[in-house]
Structure 1
Amino acid sequence: MGKNVYSSETKWAVVKAKMAGELTTNEIMEKYGIKNKSQISTWVRWYKQGELYRFDQPIGKQYTYGHGPETRS
């Protein structure tokens, strides 16, 4: 049993639906195949805190300092 990997498009669609109030959490989970409601809460928290770079980071990578694999000047 491995970790689930969701595309950035799926993450953005889930956050958009949740923020707009279009669907309930359970409906979002069913529509997008999300297995745990805490995952949705995490994505919404990232969005509200402006941590948008996290939507594209690979699984297991937690970029904080440079907000990506290489820092830009």
Structure 2
Amino acid sequence: MQKIVYSREVKWAAVKDKLSGEMTNKEIMEKHGIKNRAQIADWMNWYKNNEFYRFDQPIGKQYSYGFRNDFKNEQERQDHQLSQLIMENEILKKYIEIKRGLEKKK
């Protein structure tokens, strides 16, 4: 089964139609030739989460964890990666603290 690739124009048009509230999912699907209702929900989630770069992603190229392509320059990408690593480090420290607290209670 071959995956269907929708253009960025179709994705944005579907989101715009959904936001207007004048069309149902079925009408949007018929108008734009979309095969699955879940696809519209995914695009709406991208829109609501300000993940606009995802509308331009080719199929199979989902950018994950610090490998987005919407950075203006290398410094911005590095700053983002640094903030992600700092957050990850804080989470791991908290996990270790909780684990030690639970071990002491035993």
TM-score of the pair, normalised by structure 2: 0.63
Cα separation, partners in 2 of 1:19 and 1:69, compared to 1, 3 Å: closer
Within 2, Cα distance between the matches of 1:20 and 1:30?
16
CA deviation map 1:35-58 (0-9, x unaligned) = 000000000000000100000010
**Which structure has the highest helix share of the two?**
2
The structure with more radius of gyration: 2
Structure-to-structure mapping, 1:20-35, within 5 angstroms:
20-35=20-35
Pairwise CA RMSD: 1.8
CA–CA separation in structure 2 for the residues paired with 1:70 and 1:17:
29
Unaligned ranges ≥5, structure 2: 75-106
Q: Cα deviation per residue 1:4-28 (whole Å; 9 max; x = unaligned)?
A: 0000000000000001112110000
Query: Is the CA contact 2:25–2:37 (under 8 Å) kept in the aligned structure 1?
Result: yes
- Cross-structure match for 1:7: 7
How many angstroms apart in 2 are the aligned matches of 1:52 and 1:70?
12
State the SS of the aligned residue for 1:58.
coil
* Counterparts of 2:73 and 2:22, CA distance in 1: 37
Gaps of 5+ in 1: none
Structure 1 length-normalised TM: 0.90
